[in-house]
Structure 1
Amino acid sequence: MIPHSLLLESKNTKPIAELLKEIVYTFERVNDLEEIAEKLEEGKFHFLIFHANDIENERDQKKLSEFTINFPHTLIILITDTSQWGLTASLLKRHSVYDFIQTPVDQDHLKFTLDRSFLYLSTKLKSQFINDAENNLYKRMVEIFDWKKSISNKENENIAADIIHQMNINLFQGSGIGTLMSVVSILISKSKLDQDEKNYSIPKPVMDLLSENYEAAKSMFDSMSVSQSIIDDQEQVNKKESPTKLLPIIERELDFLNEALSIKNQKINLSQIPISATGKKIRLDETKISYAIREVLINAIKYSKDQDIIYLLFFQKENFLELKVINPAYQNDDGSSGIPEKFESLVFEPFFRISSVVDDSYAKFEQFRFGLGLPLVKKIMDQHLANVQIYNIENNFKNENTKDICLTIRFPLLEEEK
């Protein structure tokens, strides 16, 4: 989405209009401060841009404060110069403007400021929307799912069928052991014995294919090792840390997944942790939480489409810190969308998949496979005495009338020890 601005036109903002055209950002003009409220009522503007020299009297500055209160979904950007630092500081302090740009304004600086502000605005609006939507739609009791009982409650023959099915999908479809076996077969048939019958020569394309699929198979076995270590670990996490420790963990995982995001030119917007939660503690094992964060992000990336934005939003609700991972919901093979209600608990059961399609594009980023990703995330959350849920939510954000998938992790907040 391209930011759309409302520009208070004057001789001072004429250069801004030209720069907006150059960076191909859409905008509309108003000639008078009195027209602004009427235009903002249309609800289609991300920014109101004006020059400090055009609002020097107290009456006009008061109007800015009214715009901020009445139109919180539009950010006010101030163009200023060194002669107006006092006014600029005052407007920033009173939150009448969101950000400022000092003249002379160049194209790169304008684009950077608007892009940064747009990122903040879209994350803020998504946070508000999700909060409201959950209050209206999602009022069910939080049920803690016992990962071990989910296995024992299944009939053995069903588990066996699921295991075989998932092994077939993961081992013999796409890159990995299945392709590795095929490449070995090709290698045997294409290799040539030299005249002395001591050495075989192998065509380079065959060797390249062998190396590539060896790495894929090795990654699969590494995944088995990590999965097994989590399955065998029954210890509750007792280490307590500030919730702010979650941010560097998430940022490291985002750095690791940059290449995965680039495959479909996707973005992830990360909000800040509510200040009210920063003085408390949560149970936190950094390694295990890293595993869980990567898995839920990979899922969101895989099941989103080109240029989608994935949101990571923090909320404090009563004595819980919530981390929500939100991505658009799309149609499944059976015609359903996202996570149908009947599958909301099933997705945390071992070997369950809504879709059996294998996407090799993300194989090298995955730690958990064989339909164990979300069950292992659930196991890790159980060890933190935390809860994880996933469900669809109606998305009426900007009147889109679609669905989002919302995965929510809820950490109990603990008081600081005196």
Structure 2
Amino acid sequence: MIPHSLVLSSQTTDQLIHILNEIHFTYERFENLSDVMLQLKNQKFHFLILSIEDLNDLNSQEILENITKSFPNTLIILITNTNHWAQTASLLKRHSAYDYLQTPLEVEHVKFTLDRSFQYLNTKLKSQFIHEAENHLFKRVIEIFDWKKSLIHKENQNISADIIHQMNISLFQGSGIGTLMSVVSILISKSKLDTENNHYIVQKPILDLLSENYEAAKSMFDSMSISQSVIDDDLLVENTESPNQLVPIFETEIKYLEEALVIKSQKINISQIPNSVMNYKIRFNPEKITYIVREILLNAIKYSKEGDEIFIIYFHRENFLEIKVINPAYQNEDGTIGIPEKYESFIFEPFFRISSVVDDSYAKFEQFRFGLGLTLVKKIMDQHQANIQIYNIDDNLRNDNTKDVCLTMRFPLLQEEK
């Protein structure tokens, strides 16, 4: 996944903007350092990048220290030069900044520094959540789910307990294989043998129940096949298309999920895609994008309540197309609301679930199971060299002072070849 940066506009950062465009990293700009706290509160950024020359007074350095305290999961990267090395070293030593870029900026060095910082940030976020007793298993899971290789039997054995737990939740709770086995047992015990005609008589309700759960079990096996195909595929998406190609995919998936929306009388509202992105292209694999869209919409539906509205909003920001899927946030089993900050990165890890409750109502719509849905979504976004985050935001759509869950996807916009 690519990092998302907040950049303070200045003559020094103009060159950085050109480089970020060249390497297709997403960013947003702001004009005044005094506004940065509001920017960081309203949006999630991996990096705050600014020039050391813009920190020439005590007030700006105090702002910097407040940022590190208030937003510890946004790393500050300084752009500096030899004339300001003493000040840069002081800020790094006090942990008011994480790393620096030295002018004149070079493409490879910028990419290396941001990649290295991003790797550190991801490790830091995970270590905040994982308890020491879980570290060994977590590291092993991450190693096994290195998407550059497929799972093999020997590796499966090392996390068999966790996989069995997930299979128990997905396969044997509610409709599916567990109920199917129960129905087969009823079928065997309740069927009556007609010895004269040499056949069994089965009551219609039993056969209907058998058919229903057969379809649910078949859907699970189909999802295994889809999941395995995504796991085994480690190729980056090279094909590019107009961002407008996203529109029919969203429309088709919303129509497919109409029955799911009816269950709790929900509604999906979708904005128009900005005309300003039509002269660009994005990396685009229609089958994989379809997997993403269905999974994120179904998640929003499942975790919303009766009568809720789900919003899909397109934005053209800087050098990327941003798509936000917004639904109301509710209290979880552990008392937290929506997506707590400590879960924001961990939610994309294999087997992670905020809730262990299985809702059978949506089983037939699901394409990914076993706690792998968002993990596979993130992998597909990585293949598109795009960005995905999920976090809580203040509710600015319903005006009732509550929280929403906001899933944000960012696709770098590429210039069309002439």
**TM-score, normalised relative to structure 1:** 0.65
Q: Number of aligned pairs?
A: 287
Structure 2 counterparts to residues 128-167 of structure 1, below 5 A: 136-141=41-46, 151-152=142-143, 159-167=159-167
Give the letter aligned to residue 274 of structure 2: P
Contact 2:141/2:159 (8 A) holds in 1: no
Partner of 2:193: 193
Where does the alignment leave 5 or more consecutive residues of structure 2 unmatched? 1-36, 48-117, 124-138, 146-154
Shift, 1:192, TM fit:
1.5
Give the letter aligned to residue 236 of structure 2: Q
Partner of 1:362: 362
Structure 2 counterparts to residues 4-403 of structure 1, below 5 A: 136-141=41-46, 151-152=142-143, 159-196=159-196, 198-397=198-397, 399-403=399-403
C-alpha distance after superposition, 1:265-306 (max 9, x if no partner): 111111112222111010001111011000000000011111
Partner of 1:108: none
Could you say which structure has the larger radius of gyration? 1
Shift, 1:404, TM fit:
0.4
C-alpha distance after superposition, 1:63-108 (max 9, x if no partner): xxxxxxxxxxxxxxxxxxxxxxxxxxxxxxxxxxxxxxxxxxxxxx
Structure-2 change in CA distance of 1:287 and 1:153 (3 Å): closer
Question: Distance in 1 between the 2:386 and 2:330 partners?
Answer: 28
Partner of 2:50: none
Q: Which secondary structure does the structure 1 equivalent of 2:393 belong to?
A: strand
Partner of 1:409: 409
Q: Which secondary structure does the structure 2 equivalent of 1:281 belong to?
A: strand
Structure-2 change in CA distance of 1:184 and 1:268 (3 Å): same
Give the letter aligned to residue 346 of structure 1: F
Give the letter aligned to residue 152 of structure 1: E
Give the letter aligned to residue 233 of structure 1: D
C-alpha distance after superposition, 1:153-206 (max 9, x if no partner): 899898433211110011100100000000111111111222248322211111
TM-align CA RMSD: 2.5
Shift, 1:149, TM fit:
8.9
Contact 1:133/1:394 (8 A) holds in 2: no
Contact 1:162/1:352 (8 A) holds in 2: no
C-alpha distance after superposition, 1:217-256 (max 9, x if no partner): 0011011111111111111111110111111111111111
Q: Greater shift after overlay, 132-141 or 361-370? A: 132-141
Question: Distance in 2 between the 1:297 and 1:256 partners?
Answer: 11
Contact 1:329/1:338 (8 A) holds in 2: yes
Contact 1:280/1:416 (8 A) holds in 2: yes
Shift, 1:317, TM fit:
1.9
Q: Percent same amino acid at aligned positions?
A: 67
Structure 1 residue ranges, 4+ long, deviating more than 6 angstroms after superposition = 153-158
Structure-2 change in CA distance of 1:395 and 1:389 (3 Å): same
Give the letter aligned to residue 385 of structure 2: L
Give the letter aligned to residue 140 of structure 1: F
Q: Which secondary structure does the structure 1 equivalent of 2:245 belong to?
A: helix
C-alpha distance after superposition, 1:360-384 (max 9, x if no partner): 1111111111111101101111111
Question: Distance in 1 between the 2:353 and 2:369 partners?
Answer: 11
Question: Distance in 1 between the 2:279 and 2:141 partners?
Answer: 36
Where does the alignment leave 5 or more consecutive residues of structure 1 unmatched? 1-131
Question: Distance in 2 between the 1:191 and 1:231 partners?
Answer: 43
Give the letter aligned to residue 211 of structure 1: S
Question: Distance in 2 between the 1:197 and 1:390 partners?
Answer: 62
Contact 1:133/1:393 (8 A) holds in 2: no
